[in-house]
Structure formats: C-alpha cells, structure tokens
Amino acid sequence: MDLKIAGNAAVVTASSSGLGKASARALAAEGVDVVVNGRDRDRLDEAVEDIKRDATGSVVGQQGDIAVREDIEAVVRRCVDEFGRLDHLVTSAGGPASKSTLETTDEDWYDAFDMLVMSVVRAVRAGEPHLRANGGGSIVNITSMSVKEPSSTLVLSASVRMAVAGLEKTLSRELAPDVRSNMVLPRSIETERIRSLGEAAIERGEYDSYDEVLADRAGDSPLGRLGSPDELGDLVAFLCSDRASYLNGTAISVDGGVSRSTL
C-alpha cells in the first residue's frame, strides 16, 4: 500500500534504538524525510546509517535529551531548517525504572514525568505551528500497554504514561481538524531491551538459550510469538498517512492479543 506521504517531513524522538527507530525506519522507507534523535552520538550515527539503507527519504540525526526543553526544541528546529516543513511528530521514550510504589522516590517520579510527559508537551509546543501548515499533519505518541493493564513493578510507566494518554485525547480535539493525534500501546515486542534482559537472564542461569527466553515471554500470546519493532513501525507510518485520515484520538494496542482488556 502506498501511504502517499513521500516528501513529507517527520521528527521521531528517542529514535536511535527500539520502537522509535523502527518508526523512523518505516517513515523513511515511505519517502518521508526524517530527523532521528538520541542522546548518545555514536548510537545515533549508527541508527541514521542503518535507517538510510531502506530509506527513500532523507535521514539526519539530531543529538539531544528529550527531558531537556532546549534539546527538544532543537530537534523540531532541525527538521524545519533541514527540510522546510514538519508534517509528522512521533514521540517515543525509554521506559522508566522498574520499581514498586514504595520503592519509588520523589526524584524517580519527577524524572519519569519529565521524560514521558513533558517531552511530549514541549515537542508539541515547538511543532504545532509547523504541523498546522501545508494542509495539516499528525502526532503519534508511542506509550505502553501498561496504560491499560498496570503491573506492580511498573508503577512509573503505568501511572505517568496515563498523563500522555490524557494529553493525546485532549490534543485530538484542540488541534483538529488541522492535526490528528493518536497513540499506540506496545507490549510483547522484541526490542533491544528485551534481548539484553534475556541475555542477562541466560548469564544468570535462568535460561539455557535465547529461544527459551522468547518462548517464555511469548507464552501468553495467542499468536505464539513476540512482535517485531517493524510491525509497530508500520502502524505508526500508517497513522501518519491520509490512509488513516479518520483516525483521531485513538489508542491502538499492539500486543498480539496478549491483553485481556476489551477496551
């Protein structure tokens, strides 16, 4: 399916690895000019070169920390300066520390809020006038299924990402009809973090092989496997396109049916 977004321009935050990188790859493969963002310069440069292999659009990197206002503003500015426009804003962020509620400090809460919520607020503030131009654009927030199904060890993700869900729903009314806002909720995706955690578990003797890790993590999946980051990236690219022109204010689960929630 031709998404007809070639020639558009996009910012994808926290996209030097994981689901952000997969989203940047999918957009660039559709001919979108993409600004990739990450804190680590070497990893960012590697991600840009990797994404370029499948890209039909231009790909550039902008180093920066999404928890820092000036860095977020610089990412948006780089897109407009480099490509002359901003059509799509995709927000991504790493996961906060895995802790129970009573283990979580005040500093943990404030850090998570800056990383997960204020990064989106600041990106939208900087990008809004550009997103409204050229016939309108889109925002896609990558959050987590923990928004719908919290875990006792992921209190920060479950609680703080709910603010992103509320923000996305509000933006879907405030910025429409010029800008559509949607959210994707990943779970059971084989990211680099899953691989590193699996390798650490093998070293501790909890598993004999990585195949055992995957089988254990996919044990509750009706599809019998974990998802790939590219499967989520393809959805993000679709949501950015006019093929999804009547999708606004939605929250789409990407979990292979693992969730038991009906809504």
Domain ranges of the chain: 9-189+229-253, 190-226
Count Cβ atoms below 10 Å from residue 166 Cβ, excluding itself: 11
Judged by DSSP in three states, 193 sits in helix
For residue 55, report the phi and psi dihedrals to the nearest 5 degrees. -80, 145
Two tokens, residue 18: 């994981």
Are residues 64 and 71 in contact, defined by beta-carbon separation less than 8 angstroms? Answer: yes
Are residues 9 and 88 in contact, defined by beta-carbon separation less than 8 angstroms? Answer: yes
CATH placement of domain 9-189+229-253: 3.40.50.720
Cα torsion for 165, 228, 230, 24, to the nearest 10°? 60
Distance of CA 19 to the CA centre of its chain: 5
Are residues 146 and 98 in contact, defined by beta-carbon separation less than 8 angstroms? Answer: no
What letter represents residue 138's amino acid? S
Two tokens, residue 119: 């990064």
Q: What integer pLDDT is reported at residue 188 of this predicted model?
A: 86
Q: What percent of the chain has pLDDT over 90?
A: 74
Two tokens, residue 159: 């609680």
What letter represents residue 171's amino acid? L
* Ramachandran bin of 35, using left for φ above 0, alpha for ψ from -120 to 50, beta for the remaining angles: beta
In the chain, which stretches have pLDDT less than 50?
none
Two tokens, residue 123: 């990106």
What letter represents residue 80's amino acid? V
Cis bond before residue 177 (omega within 30° of 0): yes
pLDDT digits (tens, 9 = 90+) for 161-173: 999 999 999 999 9
Query: Rounded CA gap, 251 and 182, in Å?
Result: 6
CA distances, 256 to each of 170, 186, 239 (Å): 27, 9, 18
Q: What integer pLDDT is reported at residue 151 of this predicted model?
A: 73
Task: Give me the residue label for tokens 């990064």.
Answer: 119
Two tokens, residue 106: 């005040």
